[in-house]
Structure 1
Amino acid sequence: MTGALAHYLGTDRKGVRIFLTISLSACVYWFLSIKTVVYEPFRQALDVTNTQLGVLLSITCFVQVFGYVALGWLQDSLQIRKVIAVDLVAYALLALTLAVLPDLPFWWLCCVFASFGLFGEALY
């Protein structure tokens, strides 16, 4: 696959890996953006009230804000490609958990949304 994509893009396999890493890192922000556009279907899919969804989004923002402070030093000591790779895998597993498992308890949703804050923004 990378060979055909490398030929199409006019680059080598390393260039394709860099292209895919940068392109896929933008996927982290899709979930955060889409939830504001489709608020009501999102709330119904999670089977939560408006108050509970507000608490979940607040948890995400709380982790993001304090994650910047707590993990700022870590960002400089790690390779960005590894951070992006870990973020993509963790974020995908969390989103897959929400998509596949219906009727999750609220405490589990709190953990997932806290992890969204960590892997979605705090490490960046």
Structure 2
Amino acid sequence: MQVSGFPTSSDIYLEVDGKKVAVVQSYTAKSTKTSRTVEAFGEDQPVATIPGQRNHVVELTRLYATDEAIRDGIDFHELEDFSLVICKPDRKVIYSGCQWSAIGETGTLGDMVVEKVTVVAAKRIETKG
């Protein structure tokens, strides 16, 4: 059995129009679904559940802008409709149609590092390999 290693920050990145604009040190993802129950008159328990819309929220920690993005004048506050790509040893997870909902910064003036960004994604897909 070959071990292909652990993901590194280059394996977690933001992409805009197919171009890598930032690498991410770590993330925490939470997906929720607004499912609901169907009740029937005279029954003491629900007779079914109906799946609802999915909601994907990902908190990113320590984003570093790529050199190319810095040259292009990236502004994390202006990012819209981007993708978050997470490469794992056996699969790739892609959150697309992303918008940020919170940005937290600490650091020194001129740093192209953002401490925390909370992202809401429209879709989540996994690909093998």
| TM-score normalised over the length of structure 2 | 0.23
Q: Which has the higher strand share?
A: 2
| TM-score normalised over the length of structure 1 | 0.24
Instruction: Tell me which structure has the larger Cα radius of gyration.
Output: 2
